[in-house]
A and B are shown apart, each in its own frame.
Chain A
């Protein structure tokens, strides 16, 4: 430890830099990216398998425990990933502080709202049968 450096090893353990958030977004974006690969493949297979089926069959399949859990994982991982991704895009292109502030809030609201709406629908399908 250099002279005058009052920081404790805890700071290094937590991985927090001067921005107080460290590499959390960087790491979370990669973690959700890894999760998104198998979950996206599963999502596409589920959608294709449901094509052309009537409503009752779709409700039964989407509401079955395994499919519902896969869909919930997909929704949570994807909405987390897309929120961070859109935040990076906003921070790259929007330099007006007020506009950036509003867009970053809107981004969070959108991601949470879409994620919750999807999750709620999946849970409804699971529990109403």
Chain B
């Protein structure tokens, strides 16, 4: 076996901070970040379901957290992450079929999923607020 030195100076492959930031690259990072955020966001889903299954008091507990400013902020972030990761996932599924790699398609897909995730989040929250004040 040839002698190798661990400290041998070899060129590194260009990584994240060497490239000029591009939309498709930022969307790739956003997909991973939202995925990781949703991973821990499932704790909220678990909390919600366990509280509902436990008692009215426990359910009121998560209700008061979600009604607080911090709770709303977390829930808003969760909504956007969920929508963004879902649309980003659809983008990946389109790529899996071999389509959407052209210079125009990939930019269009990136913009569409970003605009789509923000729009869907706002629509969900508008409908959500209508429901809170509406039917019981």
**Are A89 and B32 within 8 A (Cβ)?**
yes
Chain A interface mostly: helix
Interface residues of B (CB under 8 A from A): 32, 35-36, 38-39, 42-43, 45-46, 49-50, 52-53, 55-56, 59-60, 79, 82, 86, 89-90, 92-93, 96, 124, 127-128, 131-136
**Are A121 and B50 within 8 A (Cβ)?**
yes
A52-B133, A55-B60 are contacts. A78–B90 as well, Cβ < 8 Å? no
Chain B residues whose CB sits within 8 angstroms of the CB of A122 once the complex forms: 49, 53
Q: In the complex, what residue of chain B is closest to A52 when comparing beta carbons?
A: B132
User: Which of B32, B46, B92, B132 is A51 in contact with, Cβ under 8 Å?
Assistant: B132
Interface residues of A (CB under 8 A from B): 30, 33-34, 36-37, 40, 44, 48-49, 51-59, 62, 71, 75, 78-79, 82, 85-86, 89, 110, 114, 117-118, 120-122, 124-125, 128
Chain B interface mostly: helix
A44 to chain B, nearest CB (A): 6
**What CA separation (Å) do A78 and B134 show in the bound complex?**
30
Chain A residues whose CB sits within 8 angstroms of the CB of B50 once the complex forms: 117-118, 121
